[in-house]
Amino acid sequence: HQVAVVGLGYIGLPTAAVLASYGWSVCGVDVSPRVVETVNSGGVHIEERDLDRLVHEAVEAERLVASTAMPQAHFYMIAVPTPLASGNQPDISFVEAAARSIAPNLSRGACVIVESTSPIGTTERVGEIIGELRPDLTMPVFGSERGGDIALAYCPERVLPGQIVTELVSNDRVIGGVSVACAEKAASLYRSFVKGDCLVTNARVAETVKLVENSFRDVNIAFANELSMVADAVEIDVWDVIRLANRHPRVNILQPGPGVGGHCIAVDPWFLVAAAPQQTKLIRSAREVNDYKAHHTGSRIRAMMAASPEAKVALLGLAFKPNIDDFRESPALEIAAELARDEGDRLLIVEPYTDELPRDFIGTGAELLELDEALKAADVVAVLVDHDAFKHLDLAALAGKMVYDTRGMLKR
Ligand code: SAJ
């Protein structure tokens, strides 16, 4: 194979399929036999726009196969999870395991690229692991011009869930080599399918860039969330404040919500904090503000429920952001599940992206309803996710009800 993509998750599978669609012969590697089987049958195990078609075509054309065994390849792309362990410390054990399984298959001239969001220094750590297992190969030296017997680089994914297939091709890419030659080698792969610019730098800078992008967004969302809590305290409308402040030519405030979810923005800032704990007061506070916003939202809904003890409560949305069926690390789900624990029989949940309530709600009495039915039956309404499917709701149906709109959807 020309390219082996290690980890067939939200990033690896779309990347493998896109590479195949640009003519590369690709082997996708995953530890899960179920995932491998699904892909080899031309199917997908994750929901993402256009992905099923792309995978089906690639498998049909015999340009993509999946396997649990590591093949020999010219390029290896590592796209495995890097979760947060206890104490908010990054866990790179899956990347290390991938490096160990790639090492025996490497021949001179091969290129290993890490795509997983990683703490600073991870790419060099991959080099150390490979170097220990393959004393016959010389590793590139950080900061030097020339490569070693193999090339090592870091190229973070930056795609937005829901738009992965298009953004894989259209986004600019940052490609950090352990040495200059490594970056050029890795860039040759990306330039074959990326329509955006491929910007070359060193591995440590590229690792930091990825963490900084998501921390930037987290800090900016925290500012909006903090404003929303100030507005609640002084009883003004935060949406008016933001709309009017944003008419200043150099102000651009993001949108508050029920907290920050997903597996990236709520996690990656901790990788920066772990790298320099004393220097990251702002980034840490932003994380705390965004986590606190979920708690604040829950308290506001509880206060409305207490004011009307017999009332049913409609909760709109469980996903971590609009128009997506992904509930992992979702503040909306967390808030709803927490309310369901003692007030479940009062909850009417509306979530067009599921046919049944997630496990957290089993036995709580909470019901999954269509929007119209829930609005009819509820006296308290909380908007947690601004799915497009909610945007046309009949405002007259809200007359006389207590409403808490965490996304400013009704205002818009
Ligand atoms: N959110 C707000 N207010 C806003 C914008 C977002 O509350 O104004 C919330 C969302 O509701 C959601 C969370 O933030 O709960 C994160 O959503 P998102 O759309 O900002 O980002 P993700 O997690 O889907 O994807 C991010 C993207 N990073 C940036 O925009 C800097 C994406 O490009 C990355 O590839 C991805 O993280 C990743 O994998 O790292």
Residue matched to tokens 């030296």: 141
Cα(95)–Cα(251) distance, integer angstroms = 40
| pLDDT reported for residue 317 | 98
Distance of CA 179 to the CA centre of its chain: 29
Query: What separation in angstroms does the CA of 280 have from each of 31, 161, 276?
Result: 36, 27, 6
Distance of CA 156 to the CA centre of its chain: 12
State in Å: Cα 398 to ligand 1 middle: 30
Q: Which two tokens stand for residue 28?
A: 């996708």
Determine the residue type at 87. Answer: G
- For the chain, residues classed under CATH 3.40.50.720 are 3-208, 240-260+295-405
Count the residues in the chain: 412
Q: Kindly give, in sequence order, each residue whose CB lies less than 8 Å from that of residue 249, ignoring residues fewer than 6 positions away.
A: none
Q: Is 401 a catalytic residue?
A: no
β-sheet bridge partners, residue 347? 313
State in Å: Cα 411 to ligand 1 middle: 22
Mean pLDDT of successive 10-residue stretches along the chain, which has 412 residues: 95 98 98 98 92 97 98 98 94 98 98 97 98 97 92 96 94 98 98 98 98 98 98 96 98 98 94 96 98 98 95 97 91 98 96 95 96 96 97 91 95 80
**Choice among 111, 182, 185, 210 that is catalytic:** 210
Q: Assess whether the C-beta atom of 214 lies below 6 angstroms from ligand 1.
A: yes
Nearest protein Cα to ligand 1, atom 39: 264
State in Å: Cα 265 to ligand 1 middle: 6
State in Å: Cα 210 to ligand 1 middle: 13
Q: Which two tokens stand for residue 26?
A: 């690709």
Q: Please give the number of the atom of ligand 1 that sits closest to the Cα of 159.
A: 35
| pLDDT reported for residue 18 | 98
| pLDDT reported for residue 95 | 98
Q: Assess whether the C-beta atom of 265 lies below 6 angstroms from ligand 1.
A: yes
Specify whether the CB–CB gap between 68 and 36 falls below 8 A: yes
Tell which one of 264, 271, 335, 388 to mutate to probe ligand 1, the residue whose CB is within 8 A of the most ligand atoms. 264
Determine the residue type at 189. Answer: L
Cα(191)–Cα(170) distance, integer angstroms = 11
State in Å: Cα 161 to ligand 1 middle: 9
| pLDDT reported for residue 325 | 87
> Which pTM was predicted?
0.93
Per-residue HEC secondary structure of the chain comes to: CCEEEECCCCCHHHHHHHHHHCCCCEEEECCCHHHHHHHHCCCCCCCCCCHHHHHHHHHHCCCEEEECCCCCCCEEEECCCCCEEHHHEECCHHHHHHHHHHHHHCCCCCEEEECCCCCCCHHHHHHHHHHHHCCCCCCCCCCCCCCCCCEEEECCCCCCCCCHHHHHHHCCEEEEECCHHHHHHHHHHHCCCCCCCEEEEEHHHHHHHHHHHHHHHHHHHHHHHHHHHHHHHHCCCHHHHHHHHCCCCCCCCCCCCCCCCCCCCCCHHHHHHHHCHHHCHHHHHHHHHHHHHHHHHHHHHHHHHHHCCCCCEEEECCCCCCCCCCCCCCHHHHHHHHHHHHHHHHEEEECCCCCCCCHHHCCCCCEECCHHHHHHHCCEEEECCCCHHHCCCCHHHHCCCEEEECCCCCCC
Q: Please give the number of the atom of ligand 1 that sits closest to the Cα of 263.
A: 23
CATH of domain 240-260+295-405: 3.40.50.720
Query: What separation in angstroms does the CA of 336 have from each of 104, 258, 362, 376?
Result: 48, 11, 13, 19
Q: Assess whether the C-beta atom of 262 lies below 6 angstroms from ligand 1.
A: yes
Q: Is 210 a catalytic residue?
A: yes
Q: Assess whether the C-beta atom of 190 lies below 6 angstroms from ligand 1.
A: no
Tell which one of 207, 214, 328, 384 to mutate to probe ligand 1, the residue whose CB is within 8 A of the most ligand atoms. 214
Q: Which two tokens stand for residue 273?
A: 């904090």
Distance of CA 264 to the CA centre of its chain: 4
Angle at 99 between CA 98 and CA 100, to 5 degrees: 90
Distance of CA 150 to the CA centre of its chain: 30
CATH topology of domain 3-208: Rossmann fold (3.40.50)
Each residue of 46-101: pLDDT tens digit? Answer: 888 999 999 999 999 999 999 999 999 999 999 999 999 999 999 999 999 999 99
Q: Assess whether the C-beta atom of 320 lies below 6 angstroms from ligand 1.
A: yes
